Amino acid sequence: MSTPHVLVVNAGSSSLKYSLVDATTGETPGDGLVERIGESSSTLVHQGPGGGTRTEGAVADHEAAFRLALDAFGEHGPDLAAYDVVAVGHRVVHGGEHFSQPVVITDEVIEAVTDLIPLAPLHNPANLSGIAGARALFPDLPHVAIFDTAFHQTLPPHAYTYAVPRDWVREHGIRRYGFHGTSFSFVSQAAADLLGKPLAEVNLVVAHLGNGASISAVRGGESVETSMGMTPLEGLVMGTRSGDVDPALHAHLHRELGWSLDEIDRILNRESGLKGLAGENDFREVLRLRDAGDPAASLAFDVFCHRLRKYVGAYYAVLGEVDAIVFTGGVGENAAPVRSASLAGLSRLGITVDGTLNEGRVAGPHAISPANSAVAVLVVPTNEEWEIARQSVAALP
Ligand code: ADP
């Protein structure tokens, strides 16, 4: 097929997500997920034109995972040779201050991403391992890195600077970077399209609420504030992450209970958020328990929405004028009670959610505010794979 396609890759520490994406239309003729890489019981779920298949077996590393994926393409389709595959697009979590744009991967790029490992000790090594595996199997294709942080490199100094000794930023890179940039980029453009205005002329508050969650103030297509910081722990309440806590918490727990910093870090990243409060990190479960009268789930929901509401108010003030508040991600796109609770009572700010529109099941981008609202409230499904495919093609020489 003649339209350019990109093999989009998202490598986690023990997983590999891949999809063949038409960069022009976003269509995905084939995709898959390898999980439990490095264990004896790895699984591959592959989706091709003929339906899905599941394979089990030992997958040692990302290179072996790609080999398995290629076998699945060969056996179950789609036939990669039938497409004009122009690049492999890799999601890379942390680009630090070094990367404000997608880049074609060279040995220098690998070196720079390696240097950034201290800022993302869990994510960047996994991304690098995915890149190495893919380069081994697709040596003739250009590989492009798309950074979660790049979209936020437009943050002004007063937004990215922590009030800590000023040498820390220069010597140790201690500053706010922000994440979910691929999603914010895609959703901002789609929201502007829905509003019928050029992206350069709209001010948006975009809430990406998935397992991870963050919110951004986007002025004229550029991020000017975002809730995640040096790491993805800061900001909103998430599936398993606490979001904002008193920065003295670590010292207190360490001093009073003798917990190691690694253990505290693990708990705040993996055992907190909705999981810590409600025992469940899946938002559907939280809603189900809340509806059943579970007080812990009810409090978790309230804390989640209250935190979100605080940020919406703060980012409204940062922007001064807001054209739309935009919800995206699995929770943002589907959980109507989160949208109504977090924006209730804000009509003086021009923000109103229409109950019927909010509860409606519309698939594509749509408004849930009344037609004459000063501030539109939108639901815009994100598509990070398509954005990675588009940005990969744009980055090619
Ligand atoms: P990720 O951050 O892993 O990409 P997603 O954006 O897919 O995650 O979001 C996953 C979250 O969305 C989960 O908490 C899931 O429960 C929630 N979610 C998905 N569908 C619904 C739904 N219909 N109602 C409420 N929450 C939902």
Ligand 1 near 332 CB (within 6 A): no
pLDDT in tens, 150-194: 999 999 999 999 999 999 999 999 999 999 999 999 999 999 999
Active site residue 262: no
Chain segment 278-311, per-residue pLDDT in tens: 999 999 999 999 999 999 999 999 999 999 999 9
Query: How many other CB atoms are there within 10 angstroms of residue 51's CB atom?
Result: 9
State pLDDT tens for residues 82-134: 999 999 999 999 999 999 999 999 999 999 999 999 999 989 999 999 999 99
- Residue 216 and residue 234 in contact, taking contact as beta carbons nearer than 8 Å: no
Instruction: Tell me the domains of the chain and their CATH numbers.
Output: 4-147 (3.30.420.40), 197-384 (3.30.420.40)
Question: Residues 314-319: what's their mean pLDDT?
Answer: 98
Average pLDDT, stretch 248-262?
97
pLDDT > 90 in the chain, percent: 97
Structure confidence at residue 14 (pLDDT):
94
User: pLDDT averaged over the chain?
Assistant: 97
Task: From 138, 111, 106, 129, select the one nearest 38 (Cα to Cα).
Answer: 129
40 pLDDT higher than 90 = no
Q: Classify 343 as helix, strand or coil.
A: helix
Task: Give the distance (Å) from ligand 1 centre to CA of residue 141.
Answer: 33
Q: 148, 167, 244, 282: which is the annotated catalytic residue? A: 148
Give CA–CA dist 126/320, Å, rounded: 40
CA nearest to 147, candidates 197, 105, 181, 189: 181
pLDDT at 1: 58
Does the Cβ of 59 fall within 6 Å of ligand 1? no
pLDDT in tens, 321-333: 999 999 999 999 9
